[in-house]
Amino acid sequence: MRHFILSLMPPDYSKHGPEIDHLIVGEHWMIAVLFIFWVAFIIFALVRFRGGKGRTANYAGLRSRWPAYAIVAVFVVEIVELVGFSVPAWAHWAHPLPPGGEKPLEVRVIGEQFAWNVHYPGPDGIFGRTKVELVSTDNPLGLDPTDPHAQDDITTINELHLEVNRPALIHITSKDVIHSFKLPVMRAEQDAIPGQDIPIHFTPVRASTDKDTWEIACAQLCGLGHYRMRGMLIVDTKQGLQDWLSQQTPAVQTF
């Protein structure tokens, strides 16, 4: 059943993905057992308490304790699933990257109706200052051209480049309404909320090829144009990412 469930899901190209997939498969097994149990119980009830001649309603109902035992068993399994698997998996993914490891590739992703703005800090590794009053069609992130750290910053729309086997630290936010940044092949999803900077992290374990098309989806209904809020994820080699970044024009030179 595990292979069948995984065959229905998008491929997994992230380091933490197997842990997420294991949790999903376990949930499906539990739901399958509950489904069989409840269907069997309904069939039993329909047969056992069907109407007919000589039958009268029994308001006392079942006198056995096994339904109560079954409910307690389901409750215990749910607690084990939540405390033993779900919460540890969430905590590992939601908490910041531990110090001392490889320096992550840090990127900002800002949602708007109906696009994903991607912001790279440039060679200096520091994000340039942004101001709301500077936001325009040519400057969708409101980068301050007078800030020295903004001079080398790079921005793209609906195109996110990451490095294979290197942790990615992505800061998620929104300019207008609530969006949901979702990378199915990375088993990553986070709501983009106006006014909040929410970091997520994961490590891609497979580089893209010319035949790969990995989608950046919006998993939150965000308006009439929600259907076209799609981006593209490209995972490069280390040299490939450096080559791509070197070919980009700094954002402040475009406005």
What is the pLDDT, as a whole number, of residue 168? 94
Answer yes or no: is pLDDT of 169 > 90.
yes
What is the pLDDT, as a whole number, of residue 7? 75
232-251 average pLDDT score: 93
Answer yes or no: is pLDDT of 62 > 70.
no
Alpha-carbon gap, residue 217 to 182, rounded angstroms: 5
Q: Of 24-28, 105-109, 132-136, which has the strongest mean pLDDT?
A: 105-109
Answer yes or no: is pLDDT of 2 > 70.
no
Share of the chain above pLDDT 70, in %: 95
**pLDDT tens profile 117-141:** 999 998 888 999 999 899 988 899 9
Residue 74: its H or E element: helix 66-81
Residue 162: name the closest of 102, 229, 238, 87 by CA: 238
What is the pLDDT, as a whole number, of residue 68? 81
The more confidently predicted of residues 169 and 1 is 169
Name the strands in the sheet holding 198-202, side by side, starting at the edge strand that comes first in the sequence: 154-157, 115-120, 105-112, 168-174, 198-202
**pLDDT tens profile 171-198:** 999 999 999 999 999 999 999 999 999 9
Q: Which residue's structure tokens are 């992290």?
A: 201
Cβ–Cβ < 8 Å for 158, 111:
no
The more confidently predicted of residues 65 and 112 is 112
Structure tokens at 121: 């800090």
Per-residue pLDDT band for 163 (boundaries 50, 70, 90) equals very high
Answer yes or no: is pLDDT of 60 > 90.
no
Pairing type for strands 159-163 and 230-236 reads: parallel
What's the mean pLDDT when you consider all of the chain? Answer: 87
Cβ–Cβ < 8 Å for 181, 111:
yes
88-113 average pLDDT score: 82
Answer yes or no: is pLDDT of 240 > 90.
yes
Answer whether 0.75 is exceeded by the pTM: yes
Cβ–Cβ < 8 Å for 188, 222:
no
Alpha-carbon gap, residue 187 to 197, rounded angstroms: 20
47-53 average pLDDT score: 77
102-128 average pLDDT score: 93
